[in-house]
Chains A and B, each alone.
Chain A
Amino acid sequence: MEITKELTIPKLFFQQATKYGKDRVAMREKEFGIWCPVTWHDYFENVKYISLGLISLGFKEGDKVSMIGDNRPEGLWAEMAALCARGVGVWLFQDCLVDEVKYIIDHSDTRFLFGEGQEEVDKGISIFHECPKLEKIIWDDPKGMRNYDQDYLISLKEVMELGRELDKKEPDFFEELTHKGHGDEVALLFYTSGTTSLPKGALLSHNNMLTMGKHLMDVDPCLDTDDYVSYLPFAWIGEQMMSISCGLQIGYTINFPEAPETAQENIREIGPHVMFAPPRMYEEMTRRVQVKNLDSTWIKRKLYELSTKIGYHVANLKFEKKPVPFYWRLFEWFAYMIVQKKLKDHLGLSNVRNAYTGGAAMGPDHFRFFHALGVNLKQIYGQTEVAGISVVHRSGDIKFDTVGHPIPGTEIKITEEGEIITKSSSVFLGYYKNPEATTSALKDGWLHSDDRGFIDDDGHLVVFDRTKDVFTLRDGKPFAPQYLETRLKFSPYVKDSWVIGNNKDFISAVLCIDYQVVGKWADDKKLNYTSYTELSQKPEVYDLIEQQIRQANKDLPDAAKVAKFTSLYKELDPDDEELTRTRKLRRKFVEKRYKDILDAIYSDADMVHIDTTIKYEDGRKAHIKTDLQIRKAID
């Protein structure tokens, strides 16, 4: 398929819906325990009526439509309907707090807000009067909505009913509408998560999105018979790229899980052919395997160890691009038959041809783990501002410390200061209402990323870290804290880690335990605890973590070893602004917030007293009083 400047997402949508019609399943959603298919014909009809319904409600060209809610067909229909009506789509993270919702709705000049159900509608209602441009809130899940009678609320059914009426009056209107428009028009207004500042709205055109999908599919083609599971937030560019940019072009089936909690189970049922997720999803899978392994019988553990050894050996040969001797192939087959086949099935990875990860750094340990399992996991490098990705590994040419080569139509350069800059047809149009940020990001058509990196001898891009996050160690060498953080996270007991040590005498780490895994470990050891805070401060848990850190320290140069650590009394949380919505650490913020702890670590203290209040999601506050130990992890 060729992407011309004339082509827009609605035009392509019309073509595909006409091509596949009633014969092909466009999407599936598990409802009431059954996978319910939606054909391309149904998809088209639903989008048509929502789109016309919006127009009946007074929607005008260029209007912004915001969407908030879990991944479900209605969310995608609403987005497509907004685009078909020549509007601009804005996605919010499902778990956004009211303030964030208000900022984005207000900043984007949203007129129509699609919320899933009561929770989203409540958020909408609480900001309605502070956002003068917002006119209607549309909902689709009736649960709990019986007592709402605000006149600006309207159900999706009613909107579609309005659309049907308009369609009866003007039957050709919608088709004509979808054929208007140009590829350079704005399709999406995408708010970046921002590790340092307020979110910025990146304007992405139809052409940006479509060329993105085309270039990725040129590298790793998908088939229209493939399955994809959409369970990561639509407000994350990666999910948009897979569901809209690639999904629409290829025509593969998009599957929606029954509920966020069932996603893992549903992925297993579907067995997708392609997968794109941030590292934390893969980290979770790794943790699950490790924990289940610890929990299983002796014979199973031994077989697992054996097959992992074989897996690692073969994976290493492949990394080094050496041929795999036939007897190792035999061992590999053996490992596959006895362990890996089952394991991949449990993780839903049986059919995966290409699995991608990006959005944050993934540690080499996790990366190698998946290759040892025979999963073709690839790193990508991308950002919202290029509508997805710009660099990806090619099959058979994978290095775990790089992100691979630029995708077709994309140029990557390193500036003299070491910053990665990108040029491609997918580079965004600019930030909404923020010309200063636009000029500093876009120079002569080159997108400046603020990421530091270099291109290695094989032409692979190596991404170092955010420029401002790179450390200088005591021996004067630059060092990326993320490398150490991901390494610490390879332990199943550690959920989050934060490494400190820029221009300091030694490196230290603040860790968050995985409540479930450590909780289970404590149960087995018959340790009593009632809360995360209490469990995290048990001396036995400190012993456990110390062991994990010593393990991670093993083959690191002395200057890069973690010397001291403490276990934090709470989990890091996006609601407390410690992490971004995509779960990246906001260093500046945590450094300020936990200054007491940092000061104590870099003094002779072996204890720091905490007396603080924490705020729960619903606004309640709790008082926490505890003593954090500070432990040494090197002798």
Chain B
Amino acid sequence: MVAANEQNKDDVLLELEDIHMSFGKVKALNGISLKVRKGQIHSIIGPNGAGKTVMMNVINGLYHPQKGGVYFKGEKINHLKPYQRAKLRLARTFQKVEVFGGMTVLDNIRLGRHIHYKSGILSGALYLGKSAKEEREHRAFIEEEIIDLLEIESIRSKPVGMLPYGLQKRVELGRALALEPEILILDEPLAGLNLEEVEDMARFILDVNEEKRWKLTCILVEHDMGVVMDLSEQIFVLNFGNMIMDGSPEEVQNNPEVIKAYLGDEELYSTRG
């Protein structure tokens, strides 16, 4: 796994270059640079309020930085709106689930698939030959690749709002995957989940990262150090808008500054078993 990724060392998929972002007098990001390589799980860690979510919003296009560049496959995408970035196959999930509670699981996931539909409103409504075929293909994709992967067969026709939190998070991941992204931003995918759900979610993340079918590059923002250390190939440490370091899990664990700023002492590592 590691060896495979080393070959792609220069294969940078997403790059942040000297990003400055402030809200009024609060400097949320102070000259942040990040390189995410293809096929990696790149984690972002840092204490609460460090600016992790702001960073994700900058990548995703919800925020536009005052200074600095966001590059996707070498192209500057600063000017693009979130939906335009989605079309470039950049998908994300949110820290607090942002699903459509009144819609079914299937409809939520279909929505993520929407940008791949080629037929227009009219032919879609009439369900003519070509659009019917397209619909069937997308349906097969959702069923075979997403519902099966995430094991949500039993809830596919339930309204998302009625589901427990852990499953809502799974649905949100499903919606992001429906986009067939090249890069997937996961903003605290494990927050608020119980132990069993954490294990499931970690497995799904590994699956989409490693499985031939997906081979997704992931940016993982997470507080659960056990999972972060296990899953990531690269970890970026952020503190009050400043980068502390960007390195392998071993390097991060041994860096005294990181330990001071975030990890505290040994105890914190073992938040979970």
**CB-defined contacts of A262 to chain B, threshold 8 Å:** 153-154
Separation of A33 and B203 alpha carbons in the complex (Å): 23
Among A33, A144, A262, A265, the most chain B Cβ lie within 10 Å of the Cβ of A33
Q: How far is the CA of A545 from the CA of B218 in the complex (A)?
A: 50
By a CB distance below 8 angstroms, the chain A residues around B212 are 146
| Chain B CB within 8 A of A154 CB | no
Main secondary structure of the interface of B (DSSP, over half): helix
The reply to whether A259 and B154 form a contact with Cβ atoms under 8 Å apart is: yes
Contact in complex: A265, B154 (CB < 8 Å): yes
Q: Cβ of A148 < 8 Å from any Cβ of B?
A: no
Q: How far is the CA of A152 from the CA of B191 in the complex (A)?
A: 39
Stretch at the interface among B11-19, B43-51, B94-102, B140-148: B140-148
- Which B residue's beta carbon lies closest to that of A258? B153
**B72 vs chain A, min Cβ distance (A):** 28
Residues of B within 8 A of A (CB): 140, 143-144, 147-149, 151, 153-154, 156, 203, 207, 210-212, 273
Q: Which residues of A contact B153 (CB under 8 A)?
A: 33, 258-259, 261-262
How far does the alpha carbon of A262 sit from the alpha carbon of B155 in the complex, in Å? 8
A3-44 vs B: 1/0 string, CB under 8 Å?
000000000000000000000000000001110000000000
Chain B positions within 8 Å of A592 at CB level:
none
Residue A620 is within 8 A (CB to CB) of chain B in the complex:
yes
Per the bound structure, the CA–CA distance linking A258 and B148 in Å amounts to 10
CB-defined contacts of A259 to chain B, threshold 8 Å: 151, 153-154
The tally of CB-CB contacts under 8 A between chains A and B is: 30
B210 engages A146 (CB within 8 Å): yes
| Contact between chains at A144 and B207 (CB < 8 Å) | yes
Q: A535: shortest Cβ distance to chain B, in Å?
A: 15
Q: How far is the CA of A265 from the CA of B149 in the complex (A)?
A: 20
Chain A min CB distance to B173 (Å): 16
Can you name the residue of chain B whose Cβ is closest to the Cβ of A261?
B154
Q: Which residue of B lies closest to A616 (CB)?
A: B195
For residues 225 through 269 of chain A, which have their beta carbon under 8 Å from a beta carbon of chain B?
A: 258-259, 261-262, 265
A32, B147: Cβ atoms under 8 Å? Answer: yes
**A/B interface sample: 25 pairs, CB < 8 A:** A32-B143, A32-B144, A32-B147, A32-B148, A33-B143, A33-B153, A33-B156, A34-B143, A143-B148, A143-B149, A143-B207, A144-B203, A144-B207, A146-B210, A146-B211, A146-B212, A147-B210, A258-B153, A258-B154, A259-B151, A261-B153, A261-B154, A262-B153, A262-B154, A265-B154
Residues of chain B within 8 A of A33, CB atoms compared: 143, 147, 153, 156
Residue of A32, A143, A147, A620 with most chain B CB atoms under a 10 A cut-off: A32
Please list the residues of chain A having a beta carbon within 8 angstroms of any beta carbon in chain B.
Answer: 32-34, 143-144, 146-147, 258-259, 261-262, 265, 620
A33 to B140, CA, bound (A): 9
Most buried by A among B143, B153, B273: B153
List the B residue with the shortest CB-CB distance to A617: B196
Nearest B residue to A32 via CB reads: B143
B195 to chain A, nearest CB (A): 8
A34 (CB) vs chain B CBs: closest residue: B143
Chain A residue numbers with a CB within 8 Å of B211 are 146
In the complex formed, the residue of B with least CB distance to A620 is B273
Can you name the residue of chain A whose Cβ is closest to the Cβ of B145?
A: A32
The chain A residue sitting closest to B151, CB to CB, is A259
In the complex, what residues of B have CB within 8 A of residue A147's CB? 210
Chain B residues in 8 Å Cβ range of A258:
153-154
CB distance from B216 to the nearest CB of A (A): 14
Tell me, rounded to whole Å, the shortest Cβ–Cβ distance linking B166 to chain A.
14
CB distance from B226 to the nearest CB of A (A): 13
- In the complex, A261→B150 CA distance in Å? 14
Instruction: Give CA–CA (A33, B154) in the complex, Å.
Output: 10
Shortest B197–chain A CB gap in Å is: 14
